[in-house]
Chains A and B, each alone.
Chain A
Amino acid sequence: MNHLSRRRMLQLGAAGGALLASGPGRGRLASAQSTPAAGPPITVGLLAPVTGVFADFGDLMTKATNLAVEKVNAEGGILGRPLTVIAEDDQGDPAIATERARKLLVQDNVDILMGTVSSATTLAVLPLVDQAQKVFFYPLDGEDKTCLPGGGTNPLVFGLGDTPQQRLVRFVPAIVEQAGGDWYFIGNDYVFPRSVNAVAIQFLQEAGGTVVAEEYVPLGTGDYRPVIDKIANSGASVVFSTTVGADGVAFTKQAREGGLFDRMTVTGVATFAPEVYGGLQGFAGGVLTADRYSDQIDNPVNAEFVAAFREAYDYDLPIGGTAAACYGAVLLWREAANAAGSFDPMPFAEACAGLAMTLPQGDVEIDPENHLLKQPIYLLRIENDDYVIDEDFGQIAHPGHEGCSVV
């Protein structure tokens, strides 16, 4: 099977190459021309959880990818070939993710795979990507997953989200300076909050702060009041929350009602993500958070993205980093394919490493050392239903493969 699909892929690649040699528009010209793309399509496998607990993320991923694909196709496609998206729903469940990823990789034989939201699904898909020898982009933030178990960088895997190290290295000292160094850590009990907190605690201690407590609550808990009152009476000056999704909304509501916001600074990541803002709304007013993206970022790529996204989907909530990353990914692919002159996995992946350009979130570069995106991180303040930029920490790189979660 491997042989067959590989041969077929090479044929497709060769066809693409031939087309490229004869077709018009190499390099940057391709993006400027407006003739519709022709030739065999490049198939993009999109593994997005459009149902289940991560449905909002999956929905935004799908919308942003389709938007970017439409744009790129209207501008002549990639190497003269149009893009088509085959979307599959992984429901945020590793068992379904492996099945659907297998379908995309084996049955649909896609040229490139993008997607997954939860770390568990990303990690479950990685061995399949290796087996099929396809390029894989994951757009969500979280621990480093581009590494190999034995060390080194997986040549075919790219992470577009920021790692906790990137997001927190400047943010934690900034909050310590603003609000004090006695931190209470509260998160849902699974790997992501624990690894974010491990990193945050390291930066906190480096900034001279202390950990008052670190506490985890099972996902799906409705009543956070006993925990909130513990926090309120702990003497901490900052509470750093990594409660996620519906849990994060419940935590924020009850913390606001219970007066926690009046007694200390409430901050965190994931809890206050723009993707869940619909449930938070006024409850999150005034909160400081760190993120890789805000729809308030001022650059032409972002202006075009935000305007097109709002118009295409009649969307009036804040747009988050997930959508921006998927939109940016398609633009990155076009750039890399033009540089490589091919969409074959290896030359394409090699061209991706080291690629630098401007995306909605600002100036980025795919770090050739670890295949993670060097990108700007922002200190954001939630104000009047907007994620206003308080401070631009500038482009931050992830150090090597620190905190690699592929085992």
Chain B
Amino acid sequence: MNFIGVVGQLRLLLSFVPDTLSPRHPVTLVDINTGLLLKQLFNAVSAVSLLALVALGLFIVFGMMKVINMAHGEFFMLGAYAMWQLLERGVNFWVNLALAALAVGCFGIVLERSIVRRLYARGDLSTLLATFGLSILLQRGVAIAFGDRPQFVASPISGGPTILGNTYPTYQVLVMLLAMAVIAAVLILFLRTDFGLRARATIVNPRMAAALGVDTARMNALSFALGSALAGFAGALAAPLLSVVPTMGLDWVVRSFLVVIVAGVGSIWAALGGAAIVGGWETGFTAAYDATYAQITVLIIVWALVLVRPRGLFTGRWRRGTR
């Protein structure tokens, strides 16, 4: 298979890296089989769909308001904590998914109206810094409230079918499908509805949109709420798979940024493409070789991409300048 050929090349390349970085007993690839490849493909698609869901929220906020929300990962974390707290109180898991999204979305509106709104006018990078502060505030606040220890969230469904020797946990399959469904719903919202038209107009040219009668302030609040709700939903959905700790958002916000950087602020499809590249590379590289290298290389790739395509990989026309 072509995949194995590529892996072989990569391994050859990496064998020249100083030994200090490599484990002494590297993983051998002798028993690559169709079952494993299929399972790893599932892992990749599953990881990409969840990442796309989180990154889409960040992408909408960034595209719409040109605001980089560094607290996006904390919204993901809040979703997971909402799920845990509600489960502790005996609320049904599936109801919690909706409640977590709703709660984090409302929280997003409050934040937008109280803090983020004040920073649009400044237009510089203050939003990035203010939300940086907000992310620490939320993270440490949760740590004070519940401690830094991992909280226990069990899957609502255990077990799953075994195909070619590998188990496909039913809940993970559901997570993937639900993530895809929500992404599809957001796409429809953006591409097929009146709200979507206004939103896309605001993304492309906020002043023109305002002149044509789009209530940009309301659009901003709504899209911030939508972005937050998506992160909260993803956090609640992923809670049974992950460690629920106050710092869990960091991993997601960093990777979502990579997605947005790769995608640029062109079309909404670009965010999905970006997620496929970042998530796919990480999962594929981890599966084929090593997780540490997977994370270092993905950072280097994104860095290189930004230099080659400063406005994103999927943006057809570049607009020069920043204003």
The answer to A–B direct touch (Cβ < 8 A) is yes
Interface residues in chain A, defined as those with a beta carbon under 8 Å from any beta carbon in chain B = 51-53, 55-56, 59, 185, 189, 201, 211-218, 220-223, 225-227, 229-230, 232-235, 245-247, 249-250, 253-254, 257-259, 262, 276, 278-282
| Chain B residue contacts of A233, Cβ below 8 A | 31, 33, 35-36, 39, 165-166
Complex-state Cα separation, A226 to B293, whole angstroms? 14
Complex-state Cα separation, A211 to B24, whole angstroms? 10
Nearest CB in chain B to that of A198: its residue: B24
A-B contact count (CB 8 A): 147
B245 at the binding interface (Cβ < 8 Å)? yes
Instruction: Bits for B143-164, please: 1 = Cβ < 8 Å to A, else 0.
Output: 1000111111011001010100
Are A221 and B150 neighbours in the complex by a CB distance under 8 Å?
no
Are A213 and B28 neighbours in the complex by a CB distance under 8 Å?
yes
Nearest CB in chain A to that of B255: its residue: A222
Shortest 8 CB-CB contacts between residues of A and residues of B: A279-B150, A259-B167, A55-B148, A246-B243, A214-B25, A226-B287, A217-B291, A249-B243
Chain B interface mostly: mixed
Are B150 and A226 neighbours in the complex by a CB distance under 8 Å?
no
Q: How far is the CB of B6 from chain A (nearest CB, A)?
A: 16
Complex-state Cα separation, A282 to B282, whole angstroms? 29
| Chain A residue contacts of B252, Cβ below 8 A | 222
B250 at the binding interface (Cβ < 8 Å)? yes
| Chain B residue contacts of A246, Cβ below 8 A | 150, 243, 245, 247-248
Are A279 and B152 neighbours in the complex by a CB distance under 8 Å?
yes
Are A221 and B291 neighbours in the complex by a CB distance under 8 Å?
yes
The answer to whether residues A226 and B147 also contact, given A220-B247, A282-B154 and a CB cut-off of 8 A, is no
Are A253 and B248 neighbours in the complex by a CB distance under 8 Å?
no
Q: Which of B149, B155, B242 contacts A250 (CB 8 A)?
A: B242
B46 at the binding interface (Cβ < 8 Å)? yes
Most buried by A among B39, B247, B283, B287: B39
Are A259 and B243 neighbours in the complex by a CB distance under 8 Å?
no
Q: Which of B46, B152, B244 contacts A281 (CB 8 A)?
A: B152
Are B27 and A279 neighbours in the complex by a CB distance under 8 Å?
no
Are B155 and A257 neighbours in the complex by a CB distance under 8 Å?
yes
Q: How far is the CB of B56 from chain A (nearest CB, A)?
A: 18
Give 16 CB contacts A-B under 8 Å: A55-B148, A214-B25, A216-B291, A216-B292, A222-B242, A223-B283, A225-B47, A225-B172, A226-B284, A234-B27, A246-B243, A246-B247, A249-B150, A257-B155, A258-B167, A279-B152
Complex-state Cα separation, A59 to B243, whole angstroms? 19
